[in-house]
Structure 1
């Protein structure tokens, strides 16, 4: 069940196809192919619970004969697994008992019976002594969570894994956990933490069961662009040898990253447009599509305006390869939301930057905290006097 190098977990591949099958932006001809793939996978792995769910949601058509056949095979295989567990408990050692229980847990994962899989993973854990093997059970649980984006299960499993590591654990599993946590952070819109975890794992990546290395680099670059300052982006991403060896294989990504750093804004917007479909049709990024688009535009507009005390709207529009009206509408929205520190002079057709004074902001924060502390001391002194 563990993904070998370059091999993504079949259940997670299935999850991606189910996501695409439900997207209105996916072409009908592609949906036909995804539907066939999903049906084939369900049939080959006797995934009765998932099949019944998809039939109820009108994603797949009901085939009564197939359903009865899959149920019969599940019944026979479960009887065989229970027989092996009983034999191991009567005649073999603790290690064999654990392996027999693990086989049953993996069977429930294969047929995507989530409730029974989680229940039997707990049983298997009671038969497990080694921390590393307990961690492997947590990874199976995390994969179940990522299949249907159960963030509560994922969060609890990550916390459990961290507690296990306090008892011990090897570096390889610790590094794998960073990627799982990074994917969780990215999926819950914590892009800054996701970028940090991904960058920490970039030279030790072995988590092929989640996604291929190309996809990992794709996520690393996307999260880093909106999380890192310009200097850090250059050191950790633009010049990173691990990224340089792969980034050219991903359409538009190299141009997207390098044109931002090199201030080639027209090329940046062109590459950005090419990447939007990839971001929109990624099931982990899809819920944050609009947010991510706004954040990237905030980064690029801020970078451009940082070089000027004032600049004409015409010059900015020319640099980005868009119309003046587009820049006017875009910046107005970001200024109103407090994302950009500038103002528009419509009469002169000029943008004037008004960067916040960092020293003044720090002074005001210190005064505010000082007042708060004095109030607390006064209240405490009154209590003491009483």
Structure 2
């Protein structure tokens, strides 16, 4: 099995739809919109361009329809399923969902009116929160944003409730892949947390930020936040713990130092417990640490379908697979001044021609400090001169500083 075979392997089960096994009180805190539904919607979109990646398409479709009917989510049905996925319109279902939404909204508005006229601030706030949750549940993004804004701007409301409303908006943005709104609301939530957020909200917000950073390909910062939350994870409304560990391992493989990799992930009890359920991910992690490169490539092949099916990782699949290959090539070459191409190809379980193409591409791009002696069939490593690199960095930073001082001087003279 080689890395060329990535696209031809069996696909894993759908992500994010297993029973979470959480305590009852945490299940009750499950928030809307349902992020497991967002994962299924991603699979339906993926099936349009890569049908082989979603062999369980009928099951996923039935699951999405069941959730839409159970939640009476007419806006979601119309905007996502009909307009984006091209489903034929079921006029009877659409009318039934719309009527149910109108009746439920009327009831909520009446509760809000009564609370405003004859009850206290807490009852009014509860009705406002119920309205915001209703819009989020049925997939009315614009109305849900507006309802959350009303809570955020309401006077005499605790910081905790404001943080919850801001995090609800972040979750909505992640559900609908609304990148700009997610970034804006995340900054708002972070500011509120700094002003007086409790421990639980601070930790949950770190997970929100990490997931948002993954969507914008800021993987190094996301890796740091995910690693920091492994022992304190409580963000069950955004992702399952199993998927959270999956994100933490994948991102930290690329950036974590070897000693920390051993301490935080390879020997981490929380990680070990999850890897029993994700053996391919465990082999990927352990083979990297053990320098078993053939096993690493085989595990990468096995993990790739799960990356493809995941709504957060899928857009970055090519980057992730490429960076992992660069990582192991670099790690292997660090141990040698020169090595035969055939020996290196054998260590990775790939063909000589494939390795030659890979190394040539990465060397030309400046990703590997090496050169290939094609005649001798040898890869020679070139150790970077750290002193020269530091000197060049100082010169570069000095030039940048002088340019800024020059601009400042011109402004002052003006």
Q: Does 1:30 align with 2:56?
A: yes
Contact kept? 2:369, 2:383, Cα under 8 Å: yes
Cα–Cα, structure 1 residues 384 and 351, in superposed 2: closer, same or farther, change >3 Å? Answer: same
- Separation in 1, partners of 2:356, 2:396: 36
The CA RMSD over aligned residues, in Å, is 2.4
* TM-score, scaled relative to structure 2: 0.87
1:4 alignment counterpart: 27
**Aligned pair partner of 2:313 in 267, 285, 290:** 285
Contact kept? 2:32, 2:136, Cα under 8 Å: no
Q: Give 1:59 shift.
A: 3.5
**Aligned pair partner of 2:102 in 57, 75, 78:** 75
* TM-score, scaled relative to structure 1: 0.93
1:88 alignment counterpart: 115
- Separation in 2, partners of 1:205, 1:253: 19
Could you say what secondary structure the match of 2:276 adopts?
helix
2:150 alignment counterpart: 123
1:140 alignment counterpart: 168
Pairing 1:307-386 to 2, within 5 Å after superposition: 307-370=335-398
Q: Give 1:377 shift.
A: 7.4
Unaligned runs of 5+ in 1: none
Q: Does 1:223 align with 2:251?
A: yes
Could you say what secondary structure the match of 2:231 adopts?
coil
Q: Give 1:93 shift.
A: 0.4
Cα–Cα, structure 1 residues 362 and 61, in superposed 2: closer, same or farther, change >3 Å? Answer: same
- Separation in 2, partners of 1:279, 1:360: 39
**Aligned pair partner of 2:238 in 190, 198, 210:** 210
Q: Give 1:381 shift.
A: 9.0
2:16 alignment counterpart: none
Cα–Cα, structure 1 residues 82 and 304, in superposed 2: closer, same or farther, change >3 Å? Answer: same
- Separation in 2, partners of 1:145, 1:371: 41
1:21 alignment counterpart: 44
- Separation in 2, partners of 1:157, 1:10: 16
- Separation in 2, partners of 1:104, 1:21: 29
Unaligned runs of 5+ in 2: 1-24
Pairing 1:169-318 to 2, within 5 Å after superposition: 169-318=197-346
Contact kept? 2:370, 2:382, Cα under 8 Å: yes
1:110 alignment counterpart: 137
- Separation in 2, partners of 1:305, 1:229: 17
- How many residues are matched? 385
**Aligned pair partner of 1:166 in 179, 186, 194:** 194
Cα–Cα, structure 1 residues 187 and 56, in superposed 2: closer, same or farther, change >3 Å? Answer: closer
1:29-71 per-residue CA deviation (whole Å, 9 max, x = no partner) reads 5111111111121122221112112223454221112211212
1:172-218 per-residue CA deviation (whole Å, 9 max, x = no partner) reads 10000001101111121111111100111111000111111111111
